[in-house]
Structure 1
Amino acid sequence: MKLNFSFAEVGEYVKEHYGKSVVLSRVGDKELCVTYQQKIVIKTFNVSVNIAIEDVRPDGVTIKYDGGLGVDTLISGALMVFKSAFSELSAMVIPEDGHRIRVELSEVKQAQKALEMLALKDVWVTGEGVSIEASLK
């Protein structure tokens, strides 16, 4: 089974749920670039982060991010805020060494039912968005 999410659809979801406008683009089969605007004092900057899909497991994925020293600091801070604000999801996002984040979908209540029936097989980036392949258990 394959699921496809367009970059526009993902961007709309992020804006609706987190209030942040993002632009996504393909870098390679397993890598995408996320760009957002960050206001610092009186100036607004475009900040880009490359996100690479490193590992896909039946119930989660590991990603690696790269955006330079300033972005790495922002991401570390954002993860701490995320874990504080959404304590019920804190077990889902696990920071690891080397700018990696392990996403444990089995820790998301809304995903647990789906994971009883489905196992992730692959995640890749297309010219239009992100595709996910899963199999029935």
Structure 2
Amino acid sequence: MKVSVYYEEVSNYVEKHYLVRPSIKQVDDKTLSIEYTPHKFIPAISVVVRIEAMRKDVICMSYECSKAISLLISGAITHIERQIPQGIEIDTDSKRINVYPENVTELKNVLAYLSLSGVHFSESGMEITLDMN
């Protein structure tokens, strides 16, 4: 089973709820570029996210950004740490994100019937491949 999440949908959702519109673009099959321009006189904020490895029990990702953006991300993560779902680990020192789907409460019901087998970025969106258990 394939599930598609289109970048346009994500941008629309973020804009509607947070009043900012990110630009999301595929770099390659496993890499995504996310950019936001806060104001025409302020340089764009850019983060590149890459899927490093994936198994059924863990998705390992990394991100690249400037030192200034890294400090902003670190501060934001510290501020919202209690709101990050259990099963998602963000290490701002090494710029790594590990997601343990079976430990994320919001995914437990879905994963009782489906298992994650692939995540790929395309030109228009992200494709998630799931296998039925």
Identity of aligned residues (%): 27
Q: TM-score w.r.t. structure 2 length?
A: 0.85
Partner of 1:110: 106
1:93 CA drift (Å): 2.5
Name the aligned partner's letter for residue 21 of structure 2.
S
Question: In the TM superposition, what are the counterparts of 1:55-66 in structure 2 within 5 Å?
Answer: 55-66=53-64
Partner of 2:72: 74
Contact 1:7–1:24 under 8 Å retained in 2: yes
Structure 1: unaligned runs, 5 residues or longer = none
Partner of 1:94: 89
Give SS of 2:69's match: helix
**Gap change, CA 1:6 and 1:117, over 3 Å in 2:** same
Q: C-alpha root-mean-square deviation of aligned residues, in Å?
A: 2.2
Question: In the TM superposition, what are the counterparts of 1:1-137 in structure 2 within 5 Å?
Answer: 1-38=1-38, 43-84=41-82, 86=83, 89=85, 91-96=86-91, 98-137=94-133
Name the aligned partner's letter for residue 94 of structure 2.
G
Higher percent of residues as strand: 1
1:46 CA drift (Å): 1.2
Distance 2:61 2:100 in 1: 11
Q: Deviations over 1:38-82 (max 9, x none)?
A: 46xxx5331111000112232442211001211211221222222
Greater CA drift, 106-115 or 5-14: 106-115
Contact 1:59–1:115 under 8 Å retained in 2: no
Distance 1:56 1:76 in 2: 24
Contact 1:26–1:126 under 8 Å retained in 2: yes
